Structure 1
Amino acid sequence: MNQNYIQPDNWSIIEEGFDPESVKSSESLFSIGNGAMGQRANFEENYTGATFQGSYIAGVYYPDKTRVGWWKNGYPEYFAKVLNAPNWIGIKVTINDEVLDLNACKKVEEFRRELNMKEGWYERTFTTTLQNDIQIEVASKRFLSLDIDEVGAIAYSIKPINNNATIKYLPYLDAGIENEDTNWEEKFWETIQIKAAGNQAFIVAKTLKTDFHACTFMQTELKLDGESLHLPTNVSEKSTEIAFHYSQEVNPNETFTIYKYGGYTVCSNHNKNELIAAAKKALQNATSLGFDTLLQNQKEAWAKIWEMADITIEGDVKAQQGIRFNIFQLNQTYLGKDSRLNIGPKGFTGEKYGGSTYWDTEAYCIPFYMTTKDQQVARNLLQYRYNHLEKAIENAEKLGFNNGAALYPMVTMNGEECHNEWEITFEEIHRNGAIAFAIFNYTRYTGDYSYIPEMGLEVMIGIARFWHQRATFSTAKDKYVILGVTGPNEYENNVNNNWYTNYIAQWCIKFAQENIQKVKQEYASDYERIMQKVRLSDQEISSWMEVAENMYFPRSEEYGVYLQQDGFLDKDLVSVADLDQKQRPINQKWSWDRILRSPYIKQADTLQGFYFFEDHFTTQELEKHFDFYEPFTVHESSLSPCVHSIQAAKLDKMDMAYTFYLRTSRLDLDDYNKEVEEGLHITSMAGTWMSIVEGFGGMRIKNDTLSFEPRIPWQWKGYSFKVNFRNHILKINVTHDGTTFELEKGNDLVILVDGIKVAVTPNNLVTVS
């Protein structure tokens, strides 16, 4: 299959020509969402070829019982499934009693699909000849409303070309849905009620175990050449399905259109006994506007998002398309309206990974949302973790920790660990550090310290207690060590003294101690409340600091670098450049045993620490570590290229920075990892944004001041982006001649450009050459 079949375009994702081999990949790439729900780009009509059906409702999940050969104490009880929801988009179509199915047609011509990112809609058009020799033109357009986020809309049209035809539309709802990735072939949904009234239909279903109630609904309208048609509605019902039947004689070059409005009302937003009433209200709101007005509102809502979030790139269409695709999918997944939700690694585009929340949110996504939206959105993401603190303490207790030590889950839906690979569940404990780092990152950028006395300090104390208990004193080394871990590089399991883990553990303890002192001095009543709750003594803090001050860090004097873990130099250090390309990707070609014994790094590990704590090290130290570790990195994690791109730009290795940028921005569009049909890599898309803003733009906070060190790849004529910094909206435009800064909102602001103070004032363009 051609992996580069997406046409280059500044604002759209475009596929031309029908290739059954790319259907599942395109279902991922052309996915749509609105923060509350989403769906893969499945065809509305029947399709008997290879396809991956997927519709999803934010926050709805199922605890699929963990499937392991043997049980270990502390093992998660379940693996949370991102649930495939009842399907509302389906429209079965027959032409003179022959079912329209692109897998069975004689010929498919002029097939084209477009995901218009500027305006937030997805369209598919084609001409086909059926086995009965009827030739038809088909056009379908759909979107999920940002304004009425329980509703989506479809306009589906057929025009006979060579003969008149009896066209039958059977729009349906189907609750008999299964996940592709079920462990035990279980059903996840139970249908409770099926109801039809006029041209509206409803299916109320509930999830087993978690008892989420959802109403899937639809309403239809029909037109012939733009004129409303009022055909009789015949209804058919099965145990989990309801369909309407419409039939119309259509002459050549007449267009028969069905409009279908549908979506979900959910018990998390409504009383579970009033879901049909809520659905009727949502349909009333949508249909009173009509498809065209809803679509116009959609365009305006997306224009508002792009006004702040867009990054422009001149002179490189593929790079431009890549960054906009990433920004678009991030906004389709999470808009910050609901603090109960988070950013799943596949968003609304697939089932893989299970769970909605990973350390990706804190490590990669918060900077994007903090900078392109109101800071309250990032605060909501931090509050989400505070709300799960009790569960994090329970997670730690299951593993034998006590006294309020908190271990945040690797993967979760409700704060409880639900990842079922032991080397990650028990050992990839570095995730705890990302939670604390996000608090630091948020306060550093926004200047909003209030989160820490209100919520954050309790989180930091739980995390510091965990690291204190997790460290072991080594008499041989006369230092504290952390044994049996998996670092960010998942191609090394159960190692001792992963440098990144040890470093972030030390930092978390020191960060907690500093903030305990600050809150004590400046927020006395909060301090009293927190100390009463957590029962923390000066003696306990002293014992933490003993661990932090005496943490062991593996180091090679020969290479002058910190070692990724104690045994790294015992490996056969053959660089990736000397690896047979036929062996790539190694995660699909090698046994796990071979991978674990190799020097190959799945994603930034030691370099992840240098990314988080860049100002703890000199540029020379960064360069030495980059030059040592980058040659062993295979970048088989979606989270890897962005960190390397940022660091390569910092080190002025611009060709390398650009290559990594393209890889992260087009990871899915060009299917680098040969897995896009399973869904998109949503959380790593925030890393693409960081590659430009923090990498090429060089944005940092230095001494409480917004700072830039702009660079530009030679492949680009220019690029621009905006940041919302403490309620100042600043537009940065970088060309080969210099950088301009324009303050679009807020009072006078002093920034640093290449270390020099620059004053920017409203409506004055400041140019730094």
Structure 2
Amino acid sequence: MKRYFDLDSWNIVQNYFKDEDNEFCESIFSIGNGYMGQRGNFEEDYTGESLQGSYMAGIYYPDKTRVGWWKNGYPEYFAKVINSTNWIGIKVEVNGENMDIAKGEIEEFKRVLNMKEGYLLREVVLKYKGKRIQIKSKRFVSVKDKEIGVLRYSITPLDFDCEVCFLPYLDGDIKNKDANYGEKFWDEVSKKIEDDRAQLVIKTKKLDFYLCSSMKYDVFKNGEKCNVEYENIEKNKFVGSKIKLKVKRSEEVEIFKYVSNVTSRDFLVTDLIDKGNEILARALKKGFDKLIYEQREALKDKWEKSDIVIEGDEEAQQAIRYNIFQLNQTYTGEDSRLNIGPKGFTGEKYGGSTYWDTEAYCLPFYLATEDMSVARNLLLYRHNQLGRAKENAKKLGFKKGALYPMVTMNGEECHNEWEITFEEIHRNGAIAYAIYRYTNYTGDTEYLFKYGIEVLVEISRFWEERVSFSEEKNQYVILGVTGPNEYENNVNNNWYTNRIAVWTLEYTVKVLEEFKENIKLKVAEEEISKWKDIIANMYYPKNDKLDIFLQQEGYMDKEQLTVEDIPKEERPINQNWSWDRILRSCFIKQADVLQGMYFFQHLYDEDTIRRNFDFYEPKTVHESSLSPCVHSILACKLKRPDKAYELFLRTARLDLDNYNNDTEDGCHITSMAGTWMSVVEGFGGFKVENNMISLSPILPSKWKEFSFRIVFREVMLMVRVSENVIEVENESDKELELIIVGNEYKVDGGKNISVNR
């Protein structure tokens, strides 16, 4: 596997530059704060391969779907988090020549993402028409003041005197890479520029989202603030200010650019300009140094709760921290209207929308590293969209129940591939499982009574109507579905879909019966009776000879090969094979059966899990970013640390090493949560059973030790695992009982215990 970046525990360091790698690197060096994000683009003009991207959370555009729009029930649009005002831009001229790295000779190049302190740094020495120029930039989006973005940019002519011209600007004349026919999604509302200040207000052509960006900058030479003359530049959806300075050899001239971005999601349209100015004034009062100090302190708090420390393996250490860093940049849990897009703020693929990834993969990370309100908001997001989920079911001809969308911004389905839109209905089960997981973890039964049970009942009503009764089998079946493995479409009796549908019905019935005195929602007895009948009589495809569950009916009709049979030059198969060939093969994007084994580990003995793992893992190409983490966790359960480590490293370094050759589209944010799961739930053996934490760790041979923190019901624990000892430190003042390798222990507040492995 190609190594793109230096190994470093706290930094992603790029010490080379190649145009063909630039879009990939732009994804890797993205920064965000849950409210807005920015790809790792250059501030100055760049004419090489680049995806310029600035994104505002929750602002999207309903782009008309390209296919299938004439079919009944088909989504009319595909929602996209759209590229927004480019606020980092600074055009730079030296002696009248526009600076462009693509057109110069690069003598030195260094780009650093400092994960500990939360900023992006770049240093370049460029030989341009025989002259050597040094460029330095440092920028961040504030974690403390979410609407603020700040950058410092400097030019030093190393061997000549020159005239430097800066043109800091705000550019709203942008588009998405995947826009239909190159359509642009923004209209200008107003703009204003006065000396060293500028403001641009734009709104979307549909849905009327407004974005107000306000800019102020200061110019310094050799550390002293300059009084400069300005030439104001105004174009369509563009405002900027041109400054010219005489600069001598080895003198550094730098510009500090402060920007506020405010939207109509949070403020009245009539107040946007005033709010933008107010927030910008706050940033200016603090200044660059204080803002970056606050950034460091805010990140320190996040790292104290979510860091994982791995001793003896810098490759793994760098990777896990990168994944955690991007998760914390993407979602903060402050706004229940927001969710977690598969690419976060790092790219435009998947439209930035909500998928089932949130419930299946992301929830555990936020449950264990943040106040429970963060995970609660992820579930409230779905409850708030229950009405739309019921509408989605009706559009497909169902009389009752709720079908949550595969892809959404506002609860309405907006995915435009029929085999997923209509058939990947397992997403309903993932939402039900998330309610169980949240309630089991937090003990928050108030949420269950007030919100969760309503969602469970409507999902169960959907399953009741979606199943069919087979006279031939004398059992219930589910026909025409796609499981998590999208390399098999329109199949009958996908084991995972059937299993999670029944589990949802079981859990809903249990909650209704166990808490019937507290739940106001009334469900007819005949409904519950029907659910119990489905539970008792669901058909599950199985191979009796091998004693394994089948992906779906007919899976064994395929030629049974393993991944080792695929020539290396033909992988990944999704970039080298026809879709027809993939669908007819036995190869698996991600194993549906093993996804079920992961969710329901407590329902199956170790031998059952082992048989299914040994059959399916060799057939799995892991071309879904969500695949390796599940396999890694199960390998840990089966006490196979080497296999678990191999799969962990694949998920942990999926983007940093560009395993699937697709990171230029953006990083795989939701699978990064799976990386955290691989360590905590896999190697840490962490789970919650009967209202107690249980730990059963294993240690990869490359690790000397590892440690992680978890927050459980207002108690923070530090868990350290070394070759001979498991240490648990209670960093709170409440005592906690827990299970370590099958034995119960009590840890008093402020105390720690050590258990021999």
TM-score after normalising by structure 1: 0.97
Answer whether contact 1:17 1:109 (CA < 8 A) is retained.
no
Counterpart residue number, 2:66: 67
Written as runs of structure 1 = structure 2, the 5 A alignment for 1:94-493 is 94-105=93-104, 107-131=105-129, 133-403=130-400, 405-493=401-489
Deviation at 1:218, TM superposition (A): 1.2
1:200-237: CA deviation from partner (whole Å, max 9, x where unpaired):
11110001111101112211101111111121221010
Consecutive unaligned residues in structure 2, runs of 5 or more: none
1:131-156: CA deviation from partner (whole Å, max 9, x where unpaired):
2x321111000000011111110000
CA 1:756–1:302 in structure 2 vs 1: closer, same or farther (change >3 Å)? Answer: same
Counterpart residue number, 1:705: 692
In structure 2, how many angstroms separate the alpha carbons of the residues matched to 1:247 and 1:185?
35
Please state if 1:748 is matched with 2:735.
Answer: yes
1:550-591: CA deviation from partner (whole Å, max 9, x where unpaired):
100011111101111001000000111122112111101111
Please state if 1:27 is matched with 2:26.
Answer: yes
In structure 1, how many angstroms separate the alpha carbons of the residues matched to 2:541 and 2:643?
28
Counterpart residue number, 1:609: 596
Secondary structure at 2:58 match in 1: coil
In structure 1, how many angstroms separate the alpha carbons of the residues matched to 2:647 and 2:230?
55
In structure 2, how many angstroms separate the alpha carbons of the residues matched to 1:760 and 1:22?
50
In structure 2, how many angstroms separate the alpha carbons of the residues matched to 1:748 and 1:512?
32
Secondary structure at 2:632 match in 1: helix
**Equivalent AA in structure 1 for residue 342 of structure 2:** P
**Equivalent AA in structure 2 for residue 625 of structure 1:** N
Answer whether contact 2:166 2:244 (CA < 8 A) is retained.
yes
Deviation at 1:427, TM superposition (A): 0.2
Q: How many pairs align?
A: 756
Written as runs of structure 1 = structure 2, the 5 A alignment for 1:734-745 is 734-745=721-732
Counterpart residue number, 1:546: 533
In structure 2, how many angstroms separate the alpha carbons of the residues matched to 1:603 and 1:383?
28
In structure 2, how many angstroms separate the alpha carbons of the residues matched to 1:604 and 1:414?
30
Written as runs of structure 1 = structure 2, the 5 A alignment for 1:49-68 is 49-68=48-67
Secondary structure at 1:295 match in 2: helix
**Equivalent AA in structure 1 for residue 477 of structure 2:** V
Counterpart residue number, 2:510: 514
In structure 1, how many angstroms separate the alpha carbons of the residues matched to 2:82 and 2:152?
26
Task: Determine which of 486, 492, 501 is the counterpart of 1:505.
Answer: 501
Answer whether contact 1:234 1:246 (CA < 8 A) is retained.
yes
Secondary structure at 2:479 match in 1: coil
Answer whether contact 1:355 1:411 (CA < 8 A) is retained.
no
Answer whether contact 2:3 2:657 (CA < 8 A) is retained.
yes
Written as runs of structure 1 = structure 2, the 5 A alignment for 1:649-668 is 649-668=636-655
In structure 1, how many angstroms separate the alpha carbons of the residues matched to 2:268 and 2:718?
44
Deviation at 1:763, TM superposition (A): 2.6
**Equivalent AA in structure 2 for residue 327 of structure 1:** I
Answer whether contact 1:499 1:554 (CA < 8 A) is retained.
yes
In structure 2, how many angstroms separate the alpha carbons of the residues matched to 1:120 and 1:709?
33
Answer whether contact 1:206 1:213 (CA < 8 A) is retained.
yes
In structure 2, how many angstroms separate the alpha carbons of the residues matched to 1:230 and 1:549?
80
In structure 1, how many angstroms separate the alpha carbons of the residues matched to 2:114 and 2:642?
30
**Equivalent AA in structure 1 for residue 423 of structure 2:** E
In structure 2, how many angstroms separate the alpha carbons of the residues matched to 1:441 and 1:40?
33
User: Equivalent pairs: percent with the same residue?
Assistant: 52
Secondary structure at 2:516 match in 1: helix
Which has the higher mean CA deviation after the structures are superposed, 688-697 or 276-285? 276-285
**Equivalent AA in structure 1 for residue 16 of structure 2:** G
In structure 1, how many angstroms separate the alpha carbons of the residues matched to 2:178 and 2:270?
30
Deviation at 1:258, TM superposition (A): 0.3
1:345-364: CA deviation from partner (whole Å, max 9, x where unpaired):
00000000114211100000
Secondary structure at 1:596 match in 2: helix
Answer whether contact 2:309 2:317 (CA < 8 A) is retained.
yes
Which has the higher mean CA deviation after the structures are superposed, 211-220 or 37-46? 211-220
Secondary structure at 1:573 match in 2: coil
Secondary structure at 2:594 match in 1: helix
In structure 1, how many angstroms separate the alpha carbons of the residues matched to 2:106 and 2:113?
20
**Equivalent AA in structure 2 for residue 228 of structure 1:** K
Counterpart residue number, 1:727: 714
Answer whether contact 1:88 1:263 (CA < 8 A) is retained.
no
Task: Determine which of 563, 573, 592 is the counterpart of 1:576.
Answer: 563
In structure 2, how many angstroms separate the alpha carbons of the residues matched to 1:468 and 1:582?
46
Answer whether contact 2:687 2:694 (CA < 8 A) is retained.
yes
**Equivalent AA in structure 2 for residue 284 of structure 1:** A
Deviation at 1:69, TM superposition (A): 5.6
In structure 2, how many angstroms separate the alpha carbons of the residues matched to 1:46 and 1:731?
47
Answer whether contact 2:62 2:78 (CA < 8 A) is retained.
yes
In structure 2, how many angstroms separate the alpha carbons of the residues matched to 1:223 and 1:402?
67
Answer whether contact 1:18 1:109 (CA < 8 A) is retained.
no
**Equivalent AA in structure 2 for residue 455 of structure 1:** Y
Deviation at 1:600, TM superposition (A): 0.5
Answer whether contact 1:139 1:156 (CA < 8 A) is retained.
yes
Consecutive unaligned residues in structure 1, runs of 5 or more: none
Secondary structure at 2:5 match in 1: coil
**Equivalent AA in structure 2 for residue 514 of structure 1:** K
In structure 2, how many angstroms separate the alpha carbons of the residues matched to 1:643 and 1:604?
9
Counterpart residue number, 2:582: 595
Answer whether contact 2:119 2:140 (CA < 8 A) is retained.
yes
Counterpart residue number, 1:695: 682
The list of structure 1 runs, each at least 4 consecutive aligned residues, that deviate by more than 4 angstroms after superposition, is none
Which has the higher mean CA deviation after the structures are superposed, 610-619 or 228-237? 228-237
Deviation at 1:393, TM superposition (A): 0.1
In structure 1, how many angstroms separate the alpha carbons of the residues matched to 2:611 and 2:749?
42
CA 1:157–1:684 in structure 2 vs 1: closer, same or farther (change >3 Å)? Answer: same
Please state if 1:18 is matched with 2:9.
Answer: no
1:32-72: CA deviation from partner (whole Å, max 9, x where unpaired):
00110001010000101111110000000000001116622
Answer whether contact 1:40 1:53 (CA < 8 A) is retained.
yes
Answer whether contact 1:108 1:128 (CA < 8 A) is retained.
yes
Deviation at 1:762, TM superposition (A): 2.2
Counterpart residue number, 2:80: 81
In structure 2, how many angstroms separate the alpha carbons of the residues matched to 1:685 and 1:764?
32
Answer whether contact 1:200 1:220 (CA < 8 A) is retained.
yes
Please state if 1:766 is matched with 2:745.
Answer: no
Answer whether contact 2:69 2:75 (CA < 8 A) is retained.
no
**Equivalent AA in structure 1 for residue 611 of structure 2:** K
